[in-house]
Every structure is written in C-alpha cells, then in structure tokens.
Copies of this chain bind each other. A is one copy, B any other.
Amino acid sequence: MERRRRVDRLVALTHYLVEHPCQLVPLSKFADELGAAKSSLSEDVALIKRVLGELGEGFIETVPGAAGGVRYVPELKEDGAREVVLRLAAELSQEIRYLPGGFLYLTDLLFMPSLMESVGRIFATRFRELEPERVVTVETKGIPVALYTARALGVPAVIIRREGRVTEGPAVSINYLSGSTRRIQTMSLARRALPQGARVVLVDDFMRAGGTARGMMDLMAEFEATVLGTGMLVALKEPETKLVSDYFSLLVLKEIPENGQGLVVQPATWLEGG
C-alpha cells in the first residue's frame, strides 16, 4: 500500500512538473494534493531529478528556503539537438521547397508544434545562462520560434508588428531596409508590450543579409533593452558579413540555386562534433 502510493506520487509529480515548465512550485502544493509529508516529497523529487538528469532532455532544479520549491527546466542539446537539426536539414534540402525569387518554403514546418517545441528547446538551452526576460521576434513567421523558445525559458514572447496597429495603444516605430525586398519597411512595437531596460534575446526564422535583425536591434535600443543574443532558424551563407555581427543559426543555406536543383541546407558548425 505504502509502495503503491509512492509510485502514484512519482507519476503525478513528474506529470505536473513537465506540464508546467520553468514554474517554481512549492512542495507544500503537492503535500496537500497528494497527502504526503514534505520529507517523502523531497525524496520523490530527488529520484525524479536523478532519472531526468540521466535522460538529458531537461532537468529538475530545487530552490531551498521559504520562497523555494521545485521546477522542471526543458533542454535539448548535443545528440538530441543534432538529431532534430539534421532532420530539418534533410527536409529543407528538398527541391520542392524552392520558391521563385530565391525563397525557401518554411511555413509548414514553423507551424508544426512538436517540431517547433524541439527548436525552442535548443534555443533556450543556448540562451538560458544569459538570463533573458523576454524573447523578441517580428511577425509573422518568427512567432512560433519565439513562442516555443519563450516556453522553454519560462518568459513571455514579444512580437514586433510590421505596421502600427490601432489596437495596441502608443507605439514606437522605426524604418529599416529589408534585405529580401530591398525596400524601406516599418516595424513597430507598442510601448506597453516591453518594459524599458529589459534583457532580451532576438529570434527569427530566416536571415538573409540581416536587415530585419538590424531593425529589431535598433527598435530594442528605443526601449533601452539589452540584447543578449540573436538566434535564427536558418541563415543564408552569403553574404557572410551580415548587418548584425553577433548571431547564430541552427541551419545554414549554402546558396539558393536558380531553379531549386541542388538546394543544400546544412546544420550550423557549432552543432557539429560531440
């Protein structure tokens, strides 16, 4: 009977923690709900911590003290990250993904939640130690990257709009030169969408020359935000010198051939080795 209760608790605890990533939960919550002493729960948490640590796709963090508790932190690194990125590279190298004008069709992959959850975990694993408070992107295709990176970091996402929208109150706008359309474009962010002086990371789905990323950085300066890092799902290899200097991508598109034949998308070099 005692043993049976313990296995029940382990399943219930694992379920709750994994379903609420990055949320610090006081053990007292579980003490009430599962009818167990804190000392038993501490032992349960220690066991879960050990098992998840061995699996390597997320870990348990315990915070001592009266305001403490336990949280589950999702991760994806090394072999796990490489596997996802290699799968993406193979998918993206298909000729059918070539679009006239030198574009790559990514949208279907961006809106597959299970895939983007893995992508978000890879970004979060890389950004976590920088302690970002917000994940910022620009609409529309950057949104799933931002939402799932934010989920794995336990912070909100902030979405820059392509035009000022009447429905969000006072906003700050900037103009920038888009690399893909070679036109001056506008991006704007509502004042209330981002506190002044926040620590942010920038993400987006695709980088060509870096014009949009440069625009995001300029807009962040207007909010006195500290940009801790910039992550792209795919970056075009050429031009090697981008308009932003400090970024990384998961994938590199070697070039966009005229008709899509010989499209080559490769994992970025930082994911190699191991």
A residues neighboring B (CB under 8 Å): 3, 6-8, 10-12, 14-15, 18-21, 23, 47-48, 51-52, 55, 57-58, 74, 99-101, 103, 105, 107-108, 111-114, 116-117, 139-140, 143-144, 146-148, 150-151, 154, 156-159, 161, 166-169, 180-181, 190, 192-193
* Bound-complex Cα distance A231 to B46 (A): 42
Q: How many copies of the polypeptide does the oligomer hold? A: 2
Residues of B within 8 A of A192 (CB): 105, 108
* Bound-complex Cα distance A143 to B143 (A): 8
B167 touches A47 (CB 8 A): no
A114 touches B144 (CB 8 A): no
Which of B23, B101, B113, B151 is close to A166, meaning CB atoms less than 8 Å apart? B101
B147 touches A105 (CB 8 A): no
Given contacts A140-B139, A147-B111, A156-B108, contact A8 B99 (CB under 8 A): no
Q: Main SS of chain A's interface residues?
A: helix
Residues of B within 8 A of A12 (CB): 51, 55
Would you list 7 pairs from A and B whose C-beta atoms are within 8 A, ordered by A residue? A10-B11, A18-B19, A105-B168, A111-B156, A139-B140, A143-B144, A167-B180
A48 touches B11 (CB 8 A): yes
Residues of B within 8 A of A52 (CB): 11, 15
Given contacts A3-B3, A143-B140, contact A166 B111 (CB under 8 A): no
